[in-house]
Structure 1
Amino acid sequence: MKTITITIEGMMCQHCETRVQNAVMALDGVTSCEASAKNNQAVITFDETKVKEENINETIEEVGYEVK
């Protein structure tokens, strides 16, 4: 398991946090995702054998936010 912190631009509220969390948690191999609009970050734990960091970043961008 690997835990990463990703900086995300565009999250403004709890709805944004939930949108990011739901999208990331839908990926096979992701075990946790805690997004914070206040900090503009998400802390994500995942199994590197099932999902890659690039896939997580792409998923966040697909739901309308920018990964930095």
Structure 2
Amino acid sequence: MKKMMTITGMNCAHCAAKVEKALTEVPGVKKAKVDLKKAQSKVKYDETQTTDDMLIKAVTDAGYSASFN
């Protein structure tokens, strides 16, 4: 499954990399690509292993806010 997330609180490339790393560490996530300018992340994951709440928690734990479009 692929979904777009809106990420708030990112200010620089380091922030985007931190969010990307947090998302890819969630079990079942195959790929996460963060676009700093659009404040979005495209996440590809196995929905049998990963929930929306797990993805949002990963971003929140990294220090940012997230929601699904």
TM-score above 0.5: yes
Post-superposition offset of 1:21: 0.7
Tell me what 1:53 maps to: 52
Question: What are the ranges of 5 or more consecutive residues in structure 2 without an aligned counterpart?
Answer: none
Tell me what 1:38 maps to: 37
Instruction: Give CA deviations for 1:10-40 in whole Å, capped at 9, x if unaligned.
Output: 1111101110011110111000000111100
Identity over the aligned pairs, expressed in percent?
Answer: 27
Instruction: Give CA deviations for 1:47-66 in whole Å, capped at 9, x if unaligned.
Output: 00011111001110111101
Tell me what 2:10 maps to: 11
C-alpha separation in 2, matches of 1:38 and 1:10: 12
Alignment length, in residue pairs?
Answer: 67
Q: Find runs of 4+ consecutive structure 1 residues off by over 2 angstroms.
A: none
Tell me what 1:64 maps to: 63
C-alpha separation in 2, matches of 1:23 and 1:9: 15
Post-superposition offset of 1:67: 1.2
Normalised by the length of structure 1, the TM-score is: 0.93
Tell me what 2:21 maps to: 22
